[in-house]
Amino acid sequence: MWTVAEFVRVETDPDNPAVAVIRLDRPKMNALNAQVQVEIAEAAVRVGTDDTIASVVVYGGERVFAAGADIKEMADLDYARMAEHSRVLQDCFTAVAKVPKPVIAAVTGYALGGGCELALCADFRVAADNAVLGQPEIQLGVIPGAGGTQRLPRLIGPSRAKDLIYTGRHVGAEEALAIGLVDAVVPAGEVYAAAVAMAARYVGGPAVALRAAKQAIDAGLETDLTTGLEIERLQFSALFATEDQKTGMRSFVEQGPGKAEFSGK
């Protein structure tokens, strides 16, 4: 699979063809202008609906993940135009969050503003040891507008999120790891390989169950415990209509754990 737009392309890792890579490539710093946002959403739909893809890596290249939104494009917008544009912006990023497969952000260099918000849409984040992350929008007289005020506190807690959003300060990789903003820190030259290796864990897994787990967790975080448990119960029960449930349980009984070969159905 190889789908090319002007600034975002979808490819598969050469050694792991079931791992799709959404590759940002807008010189010099992957600024997320309106066109890039739309192309990201299109790429997310592409990988999300392709049954040959088990998991996804979002990658900005060796130098930078994404330095943020295109400020020059936004600086002169008025309220009416930004009210319309901001909905498109959020919808494009949400498309990544709703990919029904494991998604890993491979964070190199800067992931600031919209770049950080894009990384927050992934299930996991692998960062270079020299990566810099943050939500500096307050320094421009605004607040994060692509999910930062919502996804960041859900990930690292409200107090830490308020610290980053109120001050606009940047955090290095080690602090990001300590506060739970990223899940792993590796040498800068190993970020892509580490992210692909993480994504490859899910190749050959029970795709329907993985999708159900993601949907149950994400939907449950948006509601109360009682409703969340009901979401879990319904997803759990529904999996008993799948081939993978029959395969997995039969294999466990006959061969022990961890030996099932799933069809993804």
List the catalytic residues. Answer: 117, 137
What is the largest distance, in Å, between two alpha-carbon atoms of the chain?
66
Nearest Cα residue to 127 out of 96, 155, 106: 106
**What does the alpha-carbon distance between residue 32 and residue 53 come to, in Å, rounded to a whole number?**
25
